[in-house]
Homo-oligomer: A and B are copies of this chain.
């Protein structure tokens, strides 16, 4: 992968061309270039290179070899002094080169669980890196303090930074400030969760190596918290509900799950907080992602779940101020998100409608339920009303399947289980507000039940769908339906409802357990729980056709697939 290897492999005809281009290949912010758009530079260089090649008579094989060259870290030794410095001062940046030394001893234990596979690989890389002493700049655009802190320190040490570097930094800053528009996300990504790059697109971050852990840690991870904390509620309900007393469930599962969920929430929050601090651009891009944005509700909903699942041995009655604290961020996000739906820009509902939008609705009902549990009255109704109005809008929109909803998956997908979440929580919330599981509560309950059945009968559900962390978020609706069924069983106690309660509880626990096993396998065996989060690495503008072509030639997929995707794209 080093330049020496390179010279051996490249035929002499190509040597000059390639040498001219190597410098610019990876230089996201090289310092010696006055490039106004560094993020797209890597690509345009590839392109110009591809074009220059196109003139000569090189075979495909030769070209591919050359392109492979572009993947390693920048070969020039320009920043050697600086980079060494960085290795000491920027420990927490977690780039490929320097996140081997964990700067957070207090998190070491948990973190190791997830990062070990990466660490191992990086350990291998590290030697190369140290031997060359080169800092990888390719992740800089996503770093919060990419070059600044570095420069400040080197300035303190008396080494003036080159002027061009600052200029490049400024233009890079500019680029970062403009995150890609929603249309770009739809254009560049595909799949029900908009997390796969289209064949015609190129990533701004290297696709062929593992990114820093924090960059790969998506906001979807809060889904795990949702899954576990909702299970805690389920087992609390199974324990405390008189209608289910025949099962003789002990309070222990609730207690254990609650503490596990608490630990999980704390860990995920902390890691994500680090991401916010060190890779704010990446967080911003997640926030602008039309599907991901809904997951920003997840942490708060998980907290609401924790408050609902609190074991009776820890606290019986929570103080209402907790409710106000937890509902504030949800309310703020709603003002923002719902406003965007209505105000008709790029994020209008007919464009971004996706089952994951349910996550931004369900918070209202969970909030209403918790508030009603605490004995509040007006607040819960407020959120219930807001949730109802927007749920109707979303339900109709998703059911209609407008042709403009580009993001909606063609086939059913676990994400559709989110349909069940809102009505099953809503019925509990209303029953609590009203003080009785009356007809008005049964209507949403039965809607949830029908949707559940409607989804369950479509058995080819999990077939051919790639596992993803987001699946965790799709389990809590099943748990929610189970809890609602138990509440309903309390109102209508008979053998049918009891069986249904047991059945649904078993299914939801089984699903969560299966998912846990999957997650553990992916985390420790396959070591791909956190793959490169390609969703945040799309270019700001559509790559030109020649770029796509260059990119495509460099990739190994067959041209048939490419042609179809190109033509599909041009059709749109």
Enumerate chain A interface residues (CB-CB to B < 8 A).
335, 338-339, 341-345, 348-351, 353, 378, 381-382, 384-386, 388-390, 392-393, 395-404, 408-412, 416, 419, 433-434, 439, 442-447, 449-450, 453-455, 457-458, 492
Contacts and interface: CB of A to CB of B under 8 A. Distances in A.
A283 to B, nearest CB: 22
A411 B349 CA distance: 14
Contacts of A353: 400
B443 A433 contact: no
A403 B351 CA distance: 8
A450 B342 contact: no
Nearest to A410: B344
A353 B401 CA distance: 11
A409 B342 CA distance: 11
A118 to B, nearest CB: 37
A341 B338 CA distance: 25
A381 B454 contact: no
Contact of A401 (B350, B384, B457): B350
Contact of A344 (B381, B409, B434): B409
Q: Enumerate the 10 nearest inter-chain pairs by beta-carbon distance, A residue then B residue, closest first.
A: A385-B446, A348-B401, A385-B443, A382-B446, A393-B399, A344-B401, A350-B400, A389-B447, A386-B450, A396-B396
A384 B343 contact: no
A388 B343 CA distance: 23
Contacts of A408: 344
B404 A458 contact: no
A388 to B, nearest CB: 6
A398 to B, nearest CB: 7
B453 A335 contact: yes
B401 A454 contact: no
B400 A397 contact: yes
Contacts of A385: 442-447, 450
A100 to B, nearest CB: 45
Given A349-B401, A385-B450, 11 more contacts: A335-B454, A339-B454, A339-B457, A342-B398, A343-B411, A348-B401, A378-B492, A381-B442, A384-B443, A385-B447, A386-B446
25 contacts: A339-B458, A342-B398, A342-B419, A343-B411, A343-B458, A344-B401, A344-B408, A344-B411, A345-B410, A345-B411, A350-B400, A351-B401, A381-B442, A381-B446, A382-B449, A382-B450, A384-B443, A384-B446, A385-B443, A385-B445, A386-B446, A389-B395, A393-B399, A396-B400, A397-B400
Contacts of A381: 439, 442-443, 446
Contacts of A434: 439
A390 to B, nearest CB: 8
Given A389-B447, A439-B433, A439-B434, A342 B399 contact: yes
A20 B328 CA distance: 74
A464 to B, nearest CB: 15
Contact of A402 (B338, B350, B457): B350
A455 B335 CA distance: 9
A386 B385 CA distance: 20
Contacts of A350: 400-403
Nearest to A386: B450
**Which of A338, A443, A446, A447 counts the most B-chain CB atoms under 10 A from its CB?**
A446
Contacts of A412: 343
A375 B354 CA distance: 40
Given A335-B457, A443-B385, A447-B386, A399 B341 contact: yes
B396 A397 contact: yes
Contacts of A393: 395-396, 399-400
A7 to B, nearest CB: 52
Nearest to A349: B400
Nearest to A378: B492
A387 to B, nearest CB: 10
Contacts of A449: 382
A416 B342 CA distance: 9
A160 to B, nearest CB: 42
Contacts of A433: 439
Contact of A443 (B388, B395, B439, B454): B388
